[in-house]
Amino acid sequence: MGKGFVRVGRQVRFTFQEKHFRVDLVFYNRILRCFVLVDLKTGELTHGDVGQMMMYVNYHDRKVKMADENQQAFRCSGGAGSRERVSREGVEVGGARS
């Protein structure tokens, strides 16, 4: 993945509104001071998949991330036959998006 990455976990579980969800992969980048959430999909990527990933990011933002850490990056990738890929990469540094 690159320099500074630490694997936090695989199939990381969290509970939101009494329902359990799992993020496929969670990493932390020590240099950028941010979490990276990865959601893997086997089929075509849908708007629902992207919405689900945004829920993961928002939950992580409110419940896991500390105040001095930067905003998460995420990647939501479709299966081998899919040409779609959605990602929000980069972190907020000094109020500006990099």
Domain residue ranges in the chain = 5-97
Cα separations in angstroms, 2 against 65, 86, 96: 21, 20, 23
Under 8 Å between Cβ of 8 and 35: yes
Percent of the chain with pLDDT over 70: 72
Residue 98 has a pLDDT of 37
Residue 76 in 3-state DSSP? Answer: strand
- Report the predicted TM-score, pTM, of the whole model to 2 decimal places: 0.71
- For the cut 50, the answer to whether the pLDDT of residue 40 exceeds it is yes
Query: Tens of pLDDT along 42-78?
Result: 777 777 887 888 888 888 888 888 888 887 766 656 5
Q: Is the dihedral of CA 10, 84, 90, 92 positive or negative?
A: negative
H or E, element range at 81: none
**Higher confidence at residue 87 or residue 44?**
44
* Separation CA 13–CA 44 (nearest Å): 24
